[in-house]
Amino acid sequence: MSKASRNSRTSRSSPGRSARLRPDGRVEAFLANDSSEDSGSEQNGGDQAIPAVPPHLAAAVTDASAAISHNLHGQKLGRKGRVTRERILAATIDLVEKTDEPVTLGAVARAVGLGMTSIYNYFTDFTELLLAVLEPVMGSAQDEYFSLAREYWPDEQLNARAMDFVRAYHAFWARHTGLLHLRNSLADQFDVRIMHQRVNSTRPLIGLFVAQMDQRGVLGDTAVLMATTLMTGIERSITLATDRRLRRILGTLPGRREESLLEINARLMELAIRDTRERAAAEVAERP
């Protein structure tokens, strides 16, 4: 038997992971039959090409998976189980971002080449799977735009700082448009778990803008309501600007109009922060 033949046989029988570089620069992973930790077997019975996790999410997905120690049946996850879970997350991201068709557990199972029994080892329903995908995505938001609001913005830099934030916020939504619009759609349909995720992911950001507006906390709920209203409005306008389905119906915004939208959002943010700071300063000045 030739060396090439021996290597080919080893590749087919080994449970390890291999990879190849795709034309778009992403790494495409393969996993030979990974059924020892799943109660279901893979449908295709051989090497199954799986979608690659986008590079900017790869580390976050791995970290999120590392925090899971057991599957839903209480079985401890080994390396193969963790890789299988990562494959499911990668396939979900790929499907949500590349298609407007409803994404279901069945569609994810077909994309990964797993039976439904295997999927149910890791996720009870699609909402639970979506929450698992949202975790690393929202984790990446910390560096992408949360970090821009943590440092206090001097009055003379308000417009520039607000513009930087709005650009980063828009870029994040554009990059994850399918996932974030799906989340908001399910929240609007009163999926309670998704509603909690949406609120909990937004609340810290609102807190950062409350701090920008009223560092001393002298205005109480007034600053909270202002920050909440501000971020609700900005999110809604950017949601519409990045909705790919709406773009197909109404057409893509010309470049200048999209830039104007960002400038308007930044201006509104600047005015809201400046006005609330002035009100807070006046409140302090009136105190005995």
Residue 244 forms part of a structural domain: yes
Query: Among 40, 28, 269, which Cα is nearest to 158's?
Result: 269
pLDDT reported for residue 95: 92
pLDDT reported for residue 52: 66
- If asked whether residues 174 and 252 sit together in one domain, one would say yes
- The residues, any chain, with a CB within 8 Å of residue 183's CB and separated by 6 or more, are 130, 134, 194, 197, 198
**Mean pLDDT, to the nearest integer, of 167-196?**
95
Largest CA distance in the chain: 94
Range of the domain at 279: 134-286
Query: How would you class 51 by CB atoms within 10 Å of its CB: exposed for 0-12, middle for 13-18, buried for 19 or more?
Result: buried
Query: How would you class 93 by CB atoms within 10 Å of its CB: exposed for 0-12, middle for 13-18, buried for 19 or more?
Result: buried
pLDDT reported for residue 257: 80
Residue pLDDT, tens place only, 39-69? 444 444 344 555 666 776 776 677 767 778 8
**DSSP secondary structure of 30-94:** EE----TT-SS-BSS-S-EE-PPPPHHHHHHHHHHHHT--B-TTSPBP-HHHHHHHHHHHHHHHH
Find the distance separating the first CA and the last CA of the chain, reported in whole Å. Answer: 94
| C-alpha span between 248 and 236 (Å, rounded) | 18
Report the mean per-residue pLDDT for the chain: 82
* 99 backbone dihedrals φ, ψ, rounded to 5°: -140, 150
Query: Is the pLDDT assigned to residue 258 strictly greater than 80?
Result: yes
Higher pLDDT, 227 or 67: 227
pLDDT reported for residue 33: 39
| C-alpha span between 245 and 233 (Å, rounded) | 20
- If asked whether residues 143 and 97 sit together in one domain, one would say no
Residue 125 forms part of a structural domain: no
Residue 9 forms part of a structural domain: no
What is the sign, positive or negative, of the torsion defined by CA atoms of 209, 58, 52, 114? negative
Higher pLDDT, 1 or 192: 192
In this prediction, residue 273 has a pLDDT band, given cuts at 50, 70 and 90, of very high
Q: Which among 76, 91, 119 is the end of a domain?
A: 119
- If asked whether residues 164 and 278 sit together in one domain, one would say yes
- If asked whether residues 75 and 139 sit together in one domain, one would say no
Q: Which among 74, 91, 119 is the end of a domain?
A: 119
Query: Is the pLDDT assigned to residue 5 strictly greater than 50?
Result: no
Give me the number of domains the chain comprises: 2
Joined tokens for residue 183: 């989340």
pLDDT reported for residue 256: 66
- If asked whether residues 183 and 250 sit together in one domain, one would say yes
- If asked whether residues 77 and 167 sit together in one domain, one would say no
In this prediction, residue 73 has a pLDDT band, given cuts at 50, 70 and 90, of confident
Joined tokens for residue 276: 């609330």
* 283 backbone dihedrals φ, ψ, rounded to 5°: -65, -40
Residue pLDDT, tens place only, 79-129? 888 889 989 999 999 999 888 888 999 999 999 999 999 999 999 999 999
Residue 278 forms part of a structural domain: yes
pLDDT reported for residue 18: 40
- If asked whether residues 236 and 267 sit together in one domain, one would say yes
- If asked whether residues 91 and 196 sit together in one domain, one would say no
Residue pLDDT, tens place only, 128-139? 999 999 998 998
Q: Is 113 strand, coil or helix?
A: coil
Residue pLDDT, tens place only, 8-36? 333 333 333 444 444 444 444 433 334 34
